Amino acid sequence: MYAIEKGMKKVNGREVVTFARLIAEPQTEVAVEAGTTGYTGVESREGGGRTYLRVLCTQGDICMEPVTNACGDMTGFVLATSGDAGMDAVSKMLRFAGKAIDDKRCGFDG
């Protein structure tokens, strides 16, 4: 079993309950934290839900790079890794983050 820590982050003025854990594989370690307010019933940016995801590579060769548009604005990111342990860590990280967010969505499939 692994330890999960409950936390709180502020996203655009709204508090989001988060859950974090450390994923350790041979020569690879990734800290992941994810959470959401869940649905608010408002589709606008101002009143809608908030979602948070943080990934931190503390050991290994996981590469994270920003993706920018022609104006230099960050519009996404690339996450890449080498080796079987890196693949396992990324897979576990994404499953954990998805579960942390889905649990707060209460089973809605909007």
In a domain, 49, yes or no: yes
Count of domains for the chain: 1
Q: How confident is the model at residue 61 (pLDDT cuts 50, 70, 90)?
A: confident
Comparing CA positions, the residue from 79, 104, 107 lying closest to residue 18 is 104
Give me the sign of the Cα torsion angle 80, 86, 89, 91. Answer: positive
In a domain, 66, yes or no: yes
- Cα–Cα separations (whole angstroms), residue 93 to 14, 22, 62: 24, 9, 12
The predicted-structure confidence for 84-110, as pLDDT tens digits, reads as follows 999 999 999 999 999 999 988 765 555
3-state SS assignment for residue 17: strand
User: Can you give the residue range of the structural domain that contains 38?
Assistant: 5-105
In a domain, 110, yes or no: no
Q: Lowest-confidence range among 39-43, 63-67, 80-84? A: 39-43
In a domain, 53, yes or no: yes
3-state SS assignment for residue 59: strand
The predicted-structure confidence for 23-54, as pLDDT tens digits, reads as follows 999 999 999 999 999 888 877 777 788 999 99
Buried-state track 20-40, b at ≥16 Cβ within 10 A, e below 16: bbebbbeebbbbbbbbbbbee
